[in-house]
């Protein structure tokens, strides 16, 4: 019997690498390379190669679970769904709709994210919805929107990177977080370009750089402003570009001039010669880019920090031009699309603002509800988790594991335990699902079709390749069944393509316009970059109506009607009202928590190549566990000597929020004043027990990347 391979995409990071899925005669599936997808060109990291392991019924949920006598026991779907609906309704009747919370995930498909946001606002009537993508790139999104009028992770495709002249990569260890993307930076250097990496650790990515800057954690803002100061002082600004395409330069320049090189050296630890060399390398070629990731973004001043790096691009004319610009390296698989279509507390589908009356009218029309019935903006992710058990009494959670991934995780775990009711939809029994009253087993990537949006803004179709185990249902099925039990019979189909057709209508005319994208088109192309509007038609009153332009057959008849998508943004104008980019007048300020006598060191966190996010899935793959079996504390030899600790000795890392224990990993690749821990594990090595939930005032991003700690040696392992 001949087997057929299904072309699809990896379930993990925002590269969304292309892969083929082939059912095996003996059962299970095989993952193979797919060379035709331009992002990874056949390359797969270890997580992608082993992704099929999580499809095994041996490691995933295959039956609903309900809590009985303090234990989770198998139940029928009808019993489980009835219990969820009954408890949600009871909470709403007793405490009001805002006592119901909804928490989503950056790995949910666009269809699921859209349906979840609609469910919260139309069925539950609650404003209390957000998602773990708030912990990913919200600071970059806020800064990009302020500067350019629009946020899309990368405003250009990855294929442009090898053709630019210089890239400053800030706070990203691509060699471990997105290994297939590193080839673009290798090609950049082969083509004569240069790579500058900003990271307090000499990571595998930093080892590839022409220049590595190792600032003290939490000082990226000062570093960016110091470079901008030198650009001005050395006469390297692009005055024509500034005059023709920007506003706010005078204020931003004045702010930057307060950050002279020697002052910045004292703050960051980056020497003045290195600062000058970075400016020379960045300004020498005709084109250059700045790319940021979680390092500068996961700070209580992350929006200002990203704004300062954008200022560097604008001042030198490195934005809105071919092969130049600022971009953010989105982390989660659908972190980009996940916030564009309504599971973020302040947004409606199409990246519309929830407090915009016109946006509310448009989306309400698509949903068939009164605009006034839609709740307003709710709490951000951490604020929502912090309110559990008090203002928010019941929670529906999909595709997230905050017990491991949230800052101040012990407190978040306590808040989850204090809920009147918790329902979790997940593929595996995560640490958060273990606390639930009802757990619903749902389908995953290879078992369902759906779209995701990569870090490039490329909308992709993940195709169903295998049948889910008996007893497993899709998230869309769950939402439809719950909606019906709660009195909303229509509007929540289980067919993802049907959901996407409504999403097209809801996004039409919005900043993230998907209305010109169809499943049929995605099946024939390697993704379509948004914005991709459908052609407007004129109604009887002579007005353009984008929604009415979407026929039942989603493919336009005329070839000329098909919008090609927008791989490169801002080449003609920025997305602001006047078409000009906005400078950010920002100044350096300290982190929310600085070292002192009791907590003299800085802690920073990150990932390792063989695990992903909270590890809920990758920790169930034997090959990945063998490569990365558990947490560790990376520290400099000088610090290890002071502590009397050797490689492998257990260390306690203590902050004002708690204590984590893990073995020492001694290396000169980290600053002596800093320790590093990866965040994939629960238990005593859970680093997010330590992290600081201090929030950026604009993005509401917690300060994962820096907090004050002390380290204690616990003696050799026995």
Convert the pLDDT of each residue in 272-309 to its tens digit.
999 999 999 999 999 999 999 999 999 999 999 999 99
pLDDT at 409: 98
Residue 174 banded pLDDT, cuts 50, 70, 90: very high
pLDDT per residue as tens digits for the range 54-96: 999 999 999 999 999 999 999 999 999 999 999 999 999 999 9
pLDDT at 429: 97
pLDDT per residue as tens digits for the range 2-25: 568 999 999 999 999 999 999 888
pLDDT at 2: 56
Pick from 336, 390, 311: nearest CA to 143:
311
pLDDT at 547: 45
pLDDT at 715: 76
pLDDT at 361 over 70: yes
pLDDT at 379: 98
Per-residue exposure over 192-217, b if at least 16 CB sit within 10 Å of its own CB, e if not: ebbbbbbbbbbbebbebbbbbbbbbb
CATH of region 601-713, choose from 3.40.190.10, 2.40.40.20, 3.40.50.150, 2.60.40.3710: 2.40.40.20
Residue 522 host element (H or E): helix 519-524
pLDDT at 556 over 60: no
Residue 662 to residue 92: CA distance in whole angstroms: 43
Pick from 296, 366, 321, 329: nearest CA to 139:
296
CA angle centred on 480, ends 479 and 484, rounded to 5°:
115
Residue 501 host element (H or E): helix 496-507
pLDDT at 368: 97
**Quick count: other Cβ atoms within 10 Å of Cβ 72?**
18
Q: Directed axis angle between helix 302-315 and helix 138-148, to 10°?
A: 40
pLDDT at 380 over 50: yes
pLDDT at 433 over 90: yes
pLDDT at 676 over 70: yes
- The pLDDT of 669-680, averaged and rounded, is 97
pLDDT per residue as tens digits for the range 116-151: 999 999 999 999 999 999 998 899 999 999 999 999
Residue 522 phi/psi, 5° resolution? -65, -30
pLDDT at 552: 35
pLDDT at 543 over 80: no
> Does 138-329 match 65-129+334-560 at the fold level?
no
Residue 194 to residue 254: CA distance in whole angstroms: 29
Residue 161 to residue 191: CA distance in whole angstroms: 10
pLDDT at 623 over 70: yes
pLDDT at 553: 33
Residue 301 zone, left/alpha/beta (φ > 0; ψ -120 to 50; rest): alpha
pLDDT at 544 over 50: no
Residue 540 class from Cβ within 10 Å (0-12 exposed, 13-18 middle, 19+ buried)? Answer: exposed
Pick from 65, 35, 340, 38: nearest CA to 161:
38
Per-residue exposure over 500-525, b if at least 16 CB sit within 10 Å of its own CB, e if not: bbbbbbbbbbbbbbbbbbbbebbeee
**Quick count: other Cβ atoms within 10 Å of Cβ 561?**
12
pLDDT per residue as tens digits for the range 237-281: 999 999 999 999 999 999 999 999 999 999 999 999 999 999 999
Residue 149 phi/psi, 5° resolution? 85, 0
pLDDT at 25: 85
pLDDT at 551 over 80: no
pLDDT at 395 over 90: yes
User: Class of the 65-129+334-560 domain?
Assistant: alpha beta
Contact 591, 655 (CB under 8 A): no
Better-scored residue on pLDDT, 335 or 417: 417
Q: Which two tokens stand for residue 426?
A: 């997940």
pLDDT at 691 over 60: yes
Coil, strand or helix at 716:
coil
pLDDT per residue as tens digits for the range 456-477: 999 999 999 999 999 999 999 9
Residue 561 banded pLDDT, cuts 50, 70, 90: confident
- The pLDDT of 140-169, averaged and rounded, is 97
DSSP state of 564: -
Pick from 64, 88, 577, 143: nearest CA to 327:
143
pLDDT at 654 over 90: yes
Contact 202, 565 (CB under 8 A): no
pLDDT at 626 over 70: yes
Residue 319 to residue 487: CA distance in whole angstroms: 50
Residue 330 banded pLDDT, cuts 50, 70, 90: confident
- Helical H segments across 332-418, by residue range: 335-340, 357-367, 381-386, 402-405, 409-417
pLDDT at 717 over 60: no
pLDDT at 331: 83
CATH architecture label of 6-55: Single Sheet (2.20)
Task: Give the torsion sign (CA, 29, 31, 32, 33).
Answer: positive
- Which neighbouring-strand residues pair with 461? 451
pLDDT per residue as tens digits for the range 503-514: 999 999 999 999
pLDDT per residue as tens digits for the range 595-617: 999 999 999 999 999 999 999 99
Domain ranges (residues) in the chain: 6-55, 65-129+334-560, 138-329, 601-713
Residue 539 banded pLDDT, cuts 50, 70, 90: low
pLDDT at 549 over 90: no
Q: What is the CATH number of domain 138-329?
A: 3.40.228.10
Residue 716 banded pLDDT, cuts 50, 70, 90: low
- pTM (predicted TM-score): 0.95
Q: Which two tokens stand for residue 646?
A: 């050797």
Considering the chain, what is the average pLDDT of its residues? Answer: 94
């Amino acid at each position: 019997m001949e087997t057929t391979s299904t072309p699809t995409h990896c379930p993990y990071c925002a590269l969304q690498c292309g892969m083929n899925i082939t059912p095996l005669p003996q059962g299970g599936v095989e993952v193979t390379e797919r060379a035709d997808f331009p992002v990874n060109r056949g390359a797969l990291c270890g997580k992608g190669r082993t992704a099929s392991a999580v499809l095994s019924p041996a490691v995933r949920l295959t039956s609903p679970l309900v809590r009985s006598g303090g234990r989770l026991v198998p139940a029928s779907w009808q019993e489980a769904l009835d219990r969820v609906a009954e408890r949600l309704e009871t909470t709403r009747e007793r405490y009001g709709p805002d006592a119901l919370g909804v928490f989503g995930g950056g790995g949910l498909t666009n269809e699921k994210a859209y349906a979840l946001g609609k469910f919260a606002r139309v069925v539950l009537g609650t404003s209390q919805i957000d998602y773990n993508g708030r912990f990913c790139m919200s600071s970059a999104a806020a800064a990009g929107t302020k500067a350019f009028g629009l946020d899309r992770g990368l405003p250009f495709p990855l294929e442009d990177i090898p053709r630019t002249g210089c890239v400053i990569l800030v706070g990203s260890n691509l060699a471990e977080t997105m290994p297939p993307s590193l080839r673009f930076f290798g090609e950049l250097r082969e083509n004569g370009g240069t790579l500058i990496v900003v990271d307090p650790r000499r990571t595998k990515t930093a080892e590839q750089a022409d220049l590595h800057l190792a600032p003290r954690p939490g000082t990226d803002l000062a570093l960016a402003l110091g470079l901008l100061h030198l650009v001005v002082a050395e006469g390297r600004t692009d005055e024509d570009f500034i005059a023709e395409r920007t506003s706010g330069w005078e204020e931003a320049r004045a702010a930057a001039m307060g950050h002279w090189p020697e002052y910045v050296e004292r703050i960051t630890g980056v020497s003045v010669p290195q600062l000058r060399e970075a400016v020379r390398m960045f300004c020498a070629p005709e084109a250059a880019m700045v790319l940021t990731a979680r390092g500068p973004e996961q700070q209580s001043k992350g929006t200002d920090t990203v704004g300062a790096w954008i200022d560097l691009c604008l001042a030198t004319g490195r934005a809105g031009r071919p092969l130049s610009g600022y971009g953010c390296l989105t982390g989660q698989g659908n972190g980009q699309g996940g916030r564009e279509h309504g599971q973020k507390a302040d947004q409606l589908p199409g990246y519309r603002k929830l407090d915009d009356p016109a946006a509310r009218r448009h989306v309400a029309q698509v949903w068939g509800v009164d605009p006034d019935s839609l709740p307003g903006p709710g709490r951000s992710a951490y604020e929502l988790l912090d309110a559990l058990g008090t203002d928010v009494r019941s929670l529906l959670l999909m595709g997230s594991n905050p017990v491991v991934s949230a800052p101040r995780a012990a407190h978040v775990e306590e808040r989850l335990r204090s809920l009147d009711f918790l329902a979790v939809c997940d593929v595996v029994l995560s640490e958060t699902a273990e606390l639930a009253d009802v757990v619903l087993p749902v389908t995953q990537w290879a078992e369902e079709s759906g779209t995701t949006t990569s870090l490039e803004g490329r909308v992709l179709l993940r195709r169903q390749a295998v049948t889910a185990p008996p007893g497993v249902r899709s998230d869309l099925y769950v939402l439809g069944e719950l909606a019906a039990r709660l009195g909303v019979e229509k509007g929540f189909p289980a067919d993802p393509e049907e959901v996407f057709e409504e999403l097209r209508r809801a996004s039409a005319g919005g900043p993230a316009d998907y209305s010109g994208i169809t499943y049929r088109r995605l099946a024939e192309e390697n993704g379509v970059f948004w914005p991709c509007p459908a052609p407007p038609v004129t109604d009887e009153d002579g007005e353009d109506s984008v929604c009415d332009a979407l026929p039942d057959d989603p493919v336009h008849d005329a070839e000329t009607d098909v919008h090609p998508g927008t791989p490169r943004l801002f080449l003609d104008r920025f997305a602001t009202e006047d078409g000009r980019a906005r400078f950010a007048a920002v100044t350096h300020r300290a982190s929310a928590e600085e070292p002192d006598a009791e907590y003299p060191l800085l802690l920073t966190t990150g990932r390792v190549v063989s695990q992903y996010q909270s590890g809920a899935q990758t920790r169930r793959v034997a090959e990945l566990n063998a490569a990365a079996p558990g947490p560790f504390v990376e520290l400099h030899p000088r610090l290890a000597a002071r502590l009397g600790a050797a490689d492998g000795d257990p260390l306690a890392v203590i902050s004002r929020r708690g204590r984590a224990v893990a073995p020492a990993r001694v290396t000169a690749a980290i600053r002596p004043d800093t320790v590093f821990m990866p965040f994939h594990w629960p238990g005593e090595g859970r680093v997010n027990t330590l992290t600081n939930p201090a929030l950026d005032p604009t993005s509401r991003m917690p300060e994962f990347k820096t907090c004050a700690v002390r380290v204690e040696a616990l003696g050799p392992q026995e």
